[in-house]
Structure 1
Amino acid sequence: MPSTRFIRFAAALLIIALPACSSAGGGGGAGGNNPLNPADSASVELVRAAAIPITGAQTDYESLMALIGDARFVVLGEATHGTQEFYHERARITRRLIQEKGFAAMAIEGEWPDAQAVHRFVRGTGGPATAEEGLRGFTSGFPEWMWANTAIRDLVVWMREHNAGRPAEQQVGFYGLDVYSWFESADSVVAYLSRVDPDAAGRARERYACLRPHRQNPVAYGSIALRNAERSCQDEAAEQVAEMEQLYAAGGGDAHARDERFSALQNARVVAGGEAYWRAQWEGGPASWNARDRHMATTLEHLVDHLQAQGRTPKVVVWAHNTHAGDARLTEMGQGGEWNVGQLMRQAFEGESVLVGFTTYHGAVLAAEEWDAPGRVRRLNPALPESFSALFHRTGIPAFLLTFRGREELSRAMGEPRLERAVGVVYMPATERQSHYFTAMLSRQFDAVIHVDSSTAVTPLPVRR
């Protein structure tokens, strides 16, 4: 039986790949652009003139910090889940957001329970003694490298050092946004209630009993729940969320106790969100993708409410794939009915969200050859000639930042539809165009873009089973 993580990433990458099959593989639209035509040559010159080289200097991101201003949300994307430079540069930006702009949280496209172990480490509230131990939960299944890697390890060590000696309301936290840990989250709800209210723990066990038969096969649950409403766990999951919301609202305790109570509430929400996600898998179309991204965006809203209630600055930096981070309305995927985190945050917090995309032209990437296979370092093909990455490659600048605000001519050129590459945890170079490209209007999809022309594979931490 495939693991939950096996199933979830298969679904996620298929959702990325399928829209690209409709038009990116043909000769029309962005796929039909001539990479040598005068318009493209002019675009290269516009990019070259506006590009701010990334050299490793402290001043690399001054213009990005100015663009961010007082924004409450900064969403940092990535074109692959296995590129070292994406992690490294996002870490540099994140440190500046924490130090200079008072950001209080980092939220990732990862599981809430696994992220909570890291959260306890960076805040020094018990649990893991080292960053490696804190990240161990992310190595328990495919894909082991996505969050358990040396770049993340170094960042969370820095976060712990930053927090040391600061009062709780000035400390930064580490959080997960995804829906896939619904069984682990159910276990966490019961474990928490067993410590604080054994009677409530009994009620949670009774409600979550309906999930137990489907622990190894959530896809089958979705089919059963749609065909037979009486076998759905939707009502039970919602009842548990309501009880946990009452417990959270009751308040009391020190900062650590309030954080733990919020974590338990969020785990209950993950169970409800996961239940909805697996039911949506059988509805077809964009339903499951939309359920997942709606959950992640709603989690961000709950998180800022919690931060504000605890006297912490309600500012969050988000790490997620470009397909979640950019505004879906300006992509081929959005035209197919999908929405995503970047779009939802722009809509909910107009003028308070800054979306940053990342691209690369070629190099190496850590990715699997197929579902649930080990990740390995693989050659990343040069980007297709009609893509944004190929256009950026022609500038000859090794790495650079582009911001679009106030640059009308550049924004207009980069707002024309063109191919964008998306590599998840599986890389399929044999079907590269169909599997990894979609059409986008980059300067409208993102507020800024960082390009690393030749990139390397992320370095994973050792896997411990």
Structure 2
Amino acid sequence: MSHVTAQRFERDETDAALDRAADAVAERATSIDEGFDRLVDDIADADVVLLGEATHGTSEYYRLRARLTARLLEERGFEFVAVEGDWTDCYEVTEYVTGRTEADDAGEVLASFERWPTWMWANWEVAAFLDWLAEYNADRPRGERVGFYGLDVYSLYESMAAVIDYLRDRDPELADRAKDAYHCFEPYGEDAREYARSLRLIPEDCEAEVLDVLQGLREETVEHHADRDRDGDDLLADFAAEQNALVAKNAESYYRAMARGGSESWNVRDRHMSETLDRLLEFHDGPGIVWAHNTHIGDARATSMEDRGKLNLGQLAREEVCETDTDVAAVGFGSHRGTVIAGDEWGTQMERMTVPEAKAGSYEDVFHRADLDDGILEFDRGYGVAGDATDDGDPLVEPRGHRAIGVVYDPSYEGGNYVRTVLPDRYDAFVYVDETEALHPFDIEGGETPPETYPWGV
């Protein structure tokens, strides 16, 4: 999940300048209903489609992403969905949607997610999409079914346990080596954050141990991959095992970077997401779709993140994962006001919170001034496309604040929730909903039954 580290973004701008920007939005944007088909057409030729969200707790973002994803899968041949979630948890989802488990429905699988914030995935919006995906996959050959994978790096202990389970029957000797290597983490009680805290006091880490396991497992799976007669289940299991070893290696790096402070832990995490995306593209040999927060999918070079030494998945997808930056289509989301699910501190009970009206001078304020209930605004594909537009005085390429709400949120601290952004360089398209409503988690009052909007309803 995103730990949004925004900044105060103050902008002294006349009403006339804001009105010019709003007029530009009104002239170029279409309503979501009018522009949805064209957006699907325009992003369908990408190798990677990155679908964002301005919060981790807004229903419309989840439902619109699901609609876009379903269209790209069903009509345009996309091969997989990768999300800002743990590999281990999401692999259980993959087993459900590809028919490899006996779960009755997606809700049964999602209810087992335990890592805070559980509401990110254990909600009716995601359940509706996954049940649709399971039905879509049912008529496809087993080796061609669409998976739902986790890009994130948090599942250190869960991934280590999965590696040992995988090796136990296939290579008992390597399984014992893995258990011995992973003993390095035992003093920290399966608490990755405790491991990070300990490094501040005793700077001894477990880097060599997790690297050793990863190397051994890669040698093991390379031998298996040489046998192309094996079925899709075997190939996926091998891929998942190697991914778990990679998660353990990169998670150790992430928590070690946390101990040092600064921006490096963010960069380790997004590099892991990028590496995982690259592996999935190679494994499926076809285009993929990513769901993650705007702060991950929108190119960091077009924001103040770059000033603080941060890169992100959107930047790496354009620079490294794909051959050209135009092989990536990044779609950002935003709104002017509404409600959201979030916590007031890390690990606390989730709440429905009010999202106040956007700050004057922000992109969200500009879209609201354009008198849109909803809208889609598309830009030329690729990073740096706004450069030529600055010569024409285009008001939409002026750097503005763009709201980013994380899993921890304090509506009274609204001034700290904006990231300085050049919108046409950060995204290839932007989807705006003027007033949004909170996500519908299972574990909240009224969460026992689907909302009226179920399943798509937007």
- Name the structure 2 match of 1:51: 29
What CA distance in whole angstroms lies between the structure 2 residues aligned with 1:459 and 1:122? 21
Deviation at 1:225, TM superposition (A): 4.5
- Name the structure 2 match of 1:20: 7
What CA distance in whole angstroms lies between the structure 1 residues aligned with 2:173 and 2:200? 31
The within-5 A match list for 1:341-380 is: 341-348=313-320, 349=322, 350=324, 351-380=326-355
What CA distance in whole angstroms lies between the structure 1 residues aligned with 2:191 and 2:85? 20
Tell me if structure 1 keeps the 8 A contact 2:167–2:175.
Answer: yes
Deviation at 1:446, TM superposition (A): 0.6
- Name the structure 2 match of 1:131: 106
Q: Could you say what secondary structure the match of 1:145 adopts?
A: helix
**Deviation per CA, 1:386-426, whole angstroms, max 9, x where unpaired?**
21101101111111110012995899422211011111112
Deviation at 1:127, TM superposition (A): 5.0
Counterpart amino acid of residue 357 in structure 1: G
Tell me if structure 2 keeps the 8 A contact 1:417–1:441.
Answer: yes
**Deviation per CA, 1:318-345, whole angstroms, max 9, x where unpaired?**
0000000100011111111100000000
What CA distance in whole angstroms lies between the structure 1 residues aligned with 2:258 and 2:402? 26
Deviation at 1:145, TM superposition (A): 0.7
Q: Could you say what secondary structure the match of 1:174 adopts?
A: strand
Instruction: Flag the 1:373–1:340 CA change in 2: closer, same or farther, 3 A.
Output: same
Matched, 1:89 2:34: no
State the TM-score, normalized to the length of structure 2.
Answer: 0.90
The within-5 A match list for 1:32-51 is: 32-34=11-13, 36=15, 38-51=16-29
What CA distance in whole angstroms lies between the structure 2 residues aligned with 1:210 and 1:129? 39
- Name the structure 1 match of 2:176: 202
**Deviation per CA, 1:267-325, whole angstroms, max 9, x where unpaired?**
110000100001111223210000000000110001111112xxxxx211000000001
What CA distance in whole angstroms lies between the structure 2 residues aligned with 1:218 and 1:121? 28
**Deviation per CA, 1:225-271, whole angstroms, max 9, x where unpaired?**
47766x32111111111111112212242101110111111011000
What CA distance in whole angstroms lies between the structure 1 residues aligned with 2:240 and 2:194? 28
- Name the structure 2 match of 1:236: 209
Counterpart amino acid of residue 258 in structure 2: Q
RMSD of aligned C-alpha atoms? 2.0
- Name the structure 2 match of 1:453: 434
Ranges of 4+ aligned residues in structure 1 off by more than 4 Å? 223-229, 406-411
- Name the structure 1 match of 2:219: 246
What CA distance in whole angstroms lies between the structure 2 residues aligned with 1:101 and 1:208? 43
- Name the structure 1 match of 2:453: none
- Name the structure 2 match of 1:156: 130
State the TM-score, normalized to the length of structure 1.
Answer: 0.88
Matched, 1:440 2:418: no
Q: Could you say what secondary structure the match of 1:20 adopts?
A: coil
What CA distance in whole angstroms lies between the structure 2 residues aligned with 1:326 and 1:361? 19
- Name the structure 2 match of 1:120: 95
What CA distance in whole angstroms lies between the structure 2 residues aligned with 1:272 and 1:141? 19
What CA distance in whole angstroms lies between the structure 2 residues aligned with 1:215 and 1:378? 34
**Deviation per CA, 1:186-212, whole angstroms, max 9, x where unpaired?**
011111112322222111111111012
- Name the structure 2 match of 1:421: 403
Q: How many residues align?
A: 431
Tell me if structure 2 keeps the 8 A contact 1:411–1:443.
Answer: no
What CA distance in whole angstroms lies between the structure 1 residues aligned with 2:104 and 2:220? 30
Q: Could you say what secondary structure the match of 2:337 adopts?
A: strand
Deviation at 1:136, TM superposition (A): 2.5
- Name the structure 1 match of 2:152: 178
- Name the structure 1 match of 2:243: 266
Q: 1:145 aligns with which of 105, 119, 122?
A: 119
Counterpart amino acid of residue 286 in structure 1: S
Q: Could you say what secondary structure the match of 2:115 adopts?
A: coil
Q: Could you say what secondary structure the match of 1:103 adopts?
A: coil
Q: 2:363 aligns with which of 365, 368, 388?
A: 388
Deviates more, 1:78-87 or 1:240-249: 240-249
Runs of 5+ consecutive residues of structure 2 not aligned to the other structure: 448-458
Instruction: Flag the 1:222–1:373 CA change in 2: closer, same or farther, 3 A.
Output: closer
Counterpart amino acid of residue 398 in structure 1: D
What CA distance in whole angstroms lies between the structure 2 residues aligned with 1:366 and 1:227? 36
Tell me if structure 2 keeps the 8 A contact 1:419–1:438.
Answer: yes
**Deviation per CA, 1:45-68, whole angstroms, max 9, x where unpaired?**
11111111023xxx6422212321
What CA distance in whole angstroms lies between the structure 2 residues aligned with 1:237 and 1:316? 29
- Name the structure 1 match of 2:196: 222
Tell me if structure 1 keeps the 8 A contact 2:103–2:109.
Answer: yes
Q: 1:317 aligns with which of 270, 289, 297?
A: 289
Tell me if structure 2 keeps the 8 A contact 1:226–1:279.
Answer: no
Quote the sequence identity (%): 36
Tell me if structure 2 keeps the 8 A contact 1:120–1:128.
Answer: no
Q: Could you say what secondary structure the match of 2:119 adopts?
A: coil
What CA distance in whole angstroms lies between the structure 2 residues aligned with 1:35 and 1:423? 26
Q: Could you say what secondary structure the match of 2:120 adopts?
A: coil
Counterpart amino acid of residue 240 in structure 1: V
**Deviation per CA, 1:4-31, whole angstroms, max 9, x where unpaired?**
xxxxx6xx53xx33x504xx2xxxxxx2
Deviation at 1:69, TM superposition (A): 3.9
- Name the structure 2 match of 1:430: 412
Tell me if structure 1 keeps the 8 A contact 2:354–2:411.
Answer: no
Tell me if structure 2 keeps the 8 A contact 1:117–1:128.
Answer: no
Counterpart amino acid of residue 374 in structure 2: A
Q: Could you say what secondary structure the match of 2:153 adopts?
A: coil
Q: 1:331 aligns with which of 303, 306, 316?
A: 303
What CA distance in whole angstroms lies between the structure 2 residues aligned with 1:216 and 1:196? 25
Tell me if structure 1 keeps the 8 A contact 2:156–2:248.
Answer: yes
Counterpart amino acid of residue 217 in structure 2: M
- Name the structure 1 match of 2:455: none
